[in-house]
Amino acid sequence: MSFQFTHPWFLACALVALPWVVYWARHSDVQIGPWRRWSVLFIRLIITLSVLLALAGLQWLRPMEGMNVIYLLDRSESIPAAQKENAVQYVQRTMEMKESVDKAGVVVFGGEAALELPVLERNELPAVQSVIDESRTDIGAAIRLATAAFPETGQKRIVLLTDGNENLGDALPALRSSLPLDVSLDVYPMGTQRGQDVSVQRIGVPTLLKKEPRLMPRFSPRPTNPKTPRSGCSSMTS
The fold of the 67-189 domain, in CATH, is Rossmann fold (3.40.50)
Higher pLDDT pick, 22 / 238: 22
- Listed residue (113, 201, 187, 119) closest to 152, CA to CA: 119
Return all residues near 168 (Cβ < 8 A) that are at least 6 apart: 111, 136, 137, 138, 141
Segment 135-157 mean pLDDT: 89
CATH 3.40.50.410 domain residues, the chain: 67-189
| CA angle (142, 148, 154) in 5-degree steps | 115
Residues 147-204 have pLDDT tens digits of 999 988 888 999 999 988 888 888 888 888 888 888 889 998 886 655 555 666 677 6
pLDDT for the residue numbered 63: 64
Amino acid found at 162: T
pLDDT in tens, 26-79: 877 777 777 888 888 899 999 999 999 999 888 877 666 788 999 999 988 888
Poorest-confidence range of 15-19, 105-109, 112-116, 215-219?
Answer: 215-219
- Report the pLDDT value the prediction gives residue 205, as an integer from 0 to 100: 65
Average confidence score pLDDT of the chain: 80
pTM of the entire structure?
0.57
